Amino acid sequence: MADSEDPEVECPHCGSDDVERESQFGSEISKAQYYCNGCNTVFERIKYDGKQPE
C-alpha cells in the first residue's frame, strides 16, 4: 500500500479517486498525468513541491 502513488488525487471531472498515474509530462516534473477509471478521462495534476501558502 505504500506505493509511490499520490494519496489524494481524485478526478476533477467526476470526483472519483479511482485514478492511475500515467507517464509524466516530458521534463515538467511538476506535472503528472492521470487516467480516471471512473469516467475514462485523462487529466493533469500539478504537483506542489511541498510549498503551500498558509
User: Helix, strand, coil % (nearest 5) of the chain?
Assistant: 0, 30, 70
How far apart CA 25 and CA 48 sit, in angstroms, is 15
CB of residue 19 to Zn ion, shortest distance in Å: 7
How far apart CA 54 and CA 44 sit, in angstroms, is 24
Contact region with Zn ion (CB under 5 A), list: 1-9, 21-29, 38-46: 38-46
CB of residue 53 to Zn ion, shortest distance in Å: 27
> Which listed residue (10, 21, 35, 38) binds Zn ion by CB under 5 A?
38
List of residues contacting Zn ion (CB under 5 A): 11, 13-14, 16, 36, 38-39
